[in-house]
Structure 1
Amino acid sequence: MKIFSKEQIYKGDQVTAKKQNISSTELMERAGMQIFNWIHQRMQGAQVPIHVFCGIGNNGGDGLVVARHLNIYGYNVHTYVVNCSDKRTEGFLVNYDLIKQTTKKWPVMLSCEADFPAIGPDDIIVDAVFGIGLNRPPNDWVKRLFQHFRASKAFTLAIDLPSGLYADRVPEDENGVVWADYTLSFQSPKLVFFLPQTSKYTVQWEVLNIGIDPEFLQNTDTEVELMGKMEMLPIYQPREKFSNKGTFGHALIIGGSYGKIGAVMLSGRAALASGVGLVTTFTPKCGYIPLQSAFPEAMAITDIDDENITTIKFDIEPTAIAVGMGMGTDKNTHLALQEFLKVNTAPLVIDADALNIVSKHKSDLKLLKPQTILTPHPKELERLIGTWKDDFDKLKKAKAFSKKYKCILVIKGAHTITVFESKFYVNSTGNPGLATAGTGDVLTGIITGLICQGYEPLIAAVFGVYLHGKSADIAVEDYGYQSLTASHVIDYLGRAYLSLFEKPPMPQPTDEAEEGKR
């Protein structure tokens, strides 16, 4: 799913109005009706107090449309205008006149803290104060209004974007932002829903189709894409009947040191579970017996050193290589990695200690072949690209790093973001159960295994991240967040693949529908 920028959203509105021969006010009516329908479908006329807070811009105009239809359908609705400026948009003015024509309960003007209404914890707040056009912090009294919302503990529904939250930067004061329970976003989600510093402002979100021109949506390239099941299905490569283990490649997993052989084992097992035909591990001598004993599907090559990797030499031709898991940062290990990078020609995934090594020795980054995949967690990313001011600055620096070294960055987190040159791919799967030792090693193995099977490196990274998170989502239903382990993620990879082809459950008939059949 494409994630449109603020500028593209404005452009989409303009193109739609022109091509469909409608006014911006008519488009606002359409958007407001979608919000109303969403509320009406769930409330079915329930008389819970609904407080609709409208700004004086187009977002406020959307809110007035919602309030008008709630009034028409007999809901217990209270409408307020947050009078924070002398300027009004045309869409706001038109809908302000319309609501006055359709109800005796005219909107209440709020101009200071003394005007704040009482809101109960069982009430509903509809936030339509600001939209994506916000470009400066709210007034102090408006900030206090948002704090009033939060203190009420009422369910808060935001229209398009929680008020006070910018579409393209991090707010300076969290008290100046509405903390929404649910956000209904027009046509596409917003990038801020997926970033650590800003995702907290909405617990859940949903996209509403407001009929933006389909040609514009299809032909407009976006910098950011959200990767879900529908994006994965065209990526998946089915298997031919007469294929064999040689068809699906040979993964080489390089890593490990004394006491850290498990990381290599997890990566190798994950590569195998992802579908690779053959797996070979390369470790210090101390890894030979553990790997041969606990991972019989793998072949094993060892260094001459017993505890650390000091030289990387092998007589096989791997399809793709993963390096770094549990490897340590010994001086001799660095020299071995450096010499390996100079001669390697196979697609490469770099993780863990190999990332820490190249972070300390930035000149080694110049040895990477194009489309090498790096899979850093937040601290490893910081060592690679430097510190950042906020999440948007982080993405900017990550993009610059990717362009400079022609590499693919997999920024691990709650919504792992894969970065390649000027594009960001936001993952939609995964859960807090993944915050446990070894899951990063598993991800590296999955991505490596996919490359071996013929997926291009960028596709392998995006697909691997999705499968990794989806496996955890399925496994957590059996084990819960706290007890999920890296091995569980490997064990459930098969079900993650199968889930791609599962059809959604058929809706069960309601009692009324059954009665109608009789």
Structure 2
Amino acid sequence: MKIFSADQMRKADEVTIQSQEITSLELMERAATQIFNVLHQRLQGAPIPIHVFCGLGNNGGDGLVISRLLVEHGYHVKTYIVNFSDKRSDDFLVNYDRLKAMGTEWPTQLKSDEDLPEIKQQDMVIDAIFGIGLNRPLVPWVINLIKHINASRCFTLSIDVPSGLYANKAPDDPEGVIYASTTVTFQLPKLIFFLPETGQYSQDMEVIDIGLSREFISQTPGFAELIGKNEVLSLYRPRHKFAHKGDYGHCLIIGGSYGKIGSTVLATEAALRIGSGLATAFIPECGYDILQSTIPEAMVITDNEDDYISNIKFDLEPSVIGVGVGLGTKDKTIVAFEEFLKQNKTKLVIDADGINILAYKPEFLKYIPSKTVLTPHPGELKRLIGDWKDDFDKIDKVKDFSKKNDCIVVIKGANSLIVYQEDIYVNTSGNPGMATAGSGDVLTGIITGLISQGYDPLHAAVFGVYLHGSAGDLAIQQTGYQGLLASDIVSHIGKSYLELFKKPQQAPPEA
């Protein structure tokens, strides 16, 4: 599913109005009616006091339409106009007059801290103060209003986005944003729902179809792509009846040091579980018995050094190499890594200490092959690209880094991002239980194993991140969040494939 920027969403509105020969007022009525339908279906006429807070633009206009529809259906509604400016959109004014014409209680005007209404925890708030077009800091009393709503701890539904969020940067005041129980957003998801700094403001998000031009949406490249089961199904490469292990490549995992052999075990087993035909681990001598006894399916090559890797030499021709897990950063290891990069012509996946070495020795980046996949956690990423102001600045810096070095970067997190030059893919699988030691090593093995089978590196990164998260989602059904181990993710990789083709269960017919 595509993710559009604020400018693209505005353009979609304009094209829809023109192509469908409707007015902006009619489009507002359509969109707000869809939100009312969602509310009405859930509330079923429940006698809950509903407070609707409306800004002065089109988001506020949506709120006024919803207020009118709620009143028409017998709900107990109080409507408030948040007067932070002298300007009002034309469609807001029309719907304001329509609501007043109903002859019910007129909307309450809010102009300062003294006007804050009483809101009880058992009430409901509909937040229609600001939409995706917010582009300036909030006035202090409006921030206090938002804090007042949040302090009520009542169920809060935000329209399109929680008020106080910008579309392209972190909020000026982290406390000046609505904490929405749920956000009903129009037509397409927004990037802010999936980033750590902004995603925290909405516990749940629902996308509703308001009939924007399908032709425009299909023909316009998205600002980013949201990756779920439907998107990765098209990437899946089925096996044929007469396949043999040689058809699915030979991956080499280079890593490990004394006390960190487990990382190589996890990556190697994950590469095999994801479907690599053959897998070899290149490790220091101290890990030989561990690898051979833990993963009998894998082959092992050892460095002459006992405790760490000091000379990367091998006599095989792998399809892809995953390097860095548990590698360490000893001086001899750094020299060996440089010599390896200079001579290597094979596709690469680089993680952990491989990334740390690149951050310490950025001149090594000129040796990495085109479309090398880097999988840093936040600390490694910061060492690689430097600090950032907010999540949006981080994405811009990663895009610049990707373009400069022609590489794919996986920004690991709650919704991992896969970035290749200007393209951004937002993953939807995974859970907090995966914030555990070794989870990243498993991802390295998964992506390496997919490339081994012939997947394009970008497709392998997108598909691999999704399968990794899906395996974690399946695993927590037995372990819970706290009990999840990285090895549980590995053991559920096969089931993550099966889940791709599992049809959703249909509800039983009503009696």
Relative to the length of structure 1, the TM-score reads 0.98
The secondary structure found in structure 2 opposite 1:161 is coil
Q: Distance in 2 between matches of 1:85 and 1:436?
A: 48
Q: Which residue matches 2:93? A: 93
The secondary structure found in structure 1 opposite 2:204 is strand
Q: Which residue matches 1:288? A: 288
What are the Cα deviations for residues 281-320 of structure 1, in whole angstroms up to 9, with x where unaligned?
1011111111111110001111111111111111111111
The secondary structure found in structure 2 opposite 1:175 is coil
Q: Distance in 1 between matches of 2:505 and 2:41?
A: 20
CA shift, 1:103, in A, is 4.2
The letter of the residue matching 2:494 is G
CA shift, 1:141, in A, is 1.0
| Structure 2 alignment gaps of length 5 or more | none
Q: Are 2:341 and 1:335 equivalent residues in the alignment?
A: no
Q: Which residue matches 1:489? A: 489
CA shift, 1:270, in A, is 0.3
Q: Which residue matches 1:378? A: 378
What are the Cα deviations for residues 17-65 of structure 1, in whole angstroms up to 9, with x where unaligned?
0000000010000110011000001011111111111111000000011
8 A contact 1:418–1:426 mirrored in 2: yes
Q: Are 2:148 and 1:133 equivalent residues in the alignment?
A: no
Q: Distance in 2 between matches of 1:476 and 1:60?
A: 41
What are the Cα deviations for residues 418-461 of structure 1, in whole angstroms up to 9, with x where unaligned?
11001111110111111111010000000000001111000000
CA shift, 1:198, in A, is 1.1
Q: Distance in 1 between matches of 2:370 and 2:207?
A: 36
Q: Which residue matches 1:176? A: 176
What are the Cα deviations for residues 90-119 of structure 1, in whole angstroms up to 9, with x where unaligned?
110111111122341221111122222211
8 A contact 1:137–1:176 mirrored in 2: no
8 A contact 1:71–1:103 mirrored in 2: no
8 A contact 1:371–1:458 mirrored in 2: yes
The secondary structure found in structure 2 opposite 1:237 is coil
Q: Distance in 2 between matches of 1:175 and 1:381?
A: 27
The letter of the residue matching 1:23 is T
Q: Distance in 1 between matches of 2:58 and 2:99?
A: 15
Q: Are 2:156 and 1:156 equivalent residues in the alignment?
A: yes
The secondary structure found in structure 2 opposite 1:396 is helix
Q: Which residue matches 2:407? A: 407
CA shift, 1:223, in A, is 2.6
8 A contact 1:417–1:426 mirrored in 2: yes
Query: For residues 175-194 of structure 1, what are the structure 2 equivalents within 5 Å?
Result: 175-194=175-194
Q: Distance in 1 between matches of 2:332 and 2:255?
A: 13
The letter of the residue matching 1:418 is I
The secondary structure found in structure 2 opposite 1:398 is helix
Q: Distance in 1 between matches of 2:103 and 2:207?
A: 30
Q: Are 2:5 and 1:29 equivalent residues in the alignment?
A: no
What are the Cα deviations for residues 181-227 of structure 1, in whole angstroms up to 9, with x where unaligned?
11111111111111111111111111111101000110101231111
| Structure 1 alignment gaps of length 5 or more | none
Q: Distance in 2 between matches of 1:221 and 1:282?
A: 42
CA shift, 1:488, in A, is 0.2
Q: Are 2:259 and 1:221 equivalent residues in the alignment?
A: no
Query: For residues 422-433 of structure 1, what are the structure 2 equivalents within 5 Å?
Result: 422-433=422-433
Q: Distance in 2 between matches of 1:505 and 1:81?
A: 44
Q: 4+ residue runs of structure 1 moved beyond 6 angstroms?
A: none
The letter of the residue matching 1:111 is K
Q: Distance in 1 between matches of 2:329 and 2:174?
A: 40
The secondary structure found in structure 1 opposite 2:175 is helix
Q: Distance in 2 between matches of 1:134 and 1:298?
A: 55
8 A contact 1:257–1:328 mirrored in 2: yes
Q: Which residue matches 1:419? A: 419
Q: Which residue matches 1:118? A: 118
Q: What is the percent sequence identity of the aligned residues?
A: 57
Q: Distance in 2 between matches of 1:284 and 1:193?
A: 43
8 A contact 1:53–1:128 mirrored in 2: yes
The secondary structure found in structure 2 opposite 1:310 is coil
Paired positions, count? 511
Q: Distance in 2 between matches of 1:75 and 1:256?
A: 64
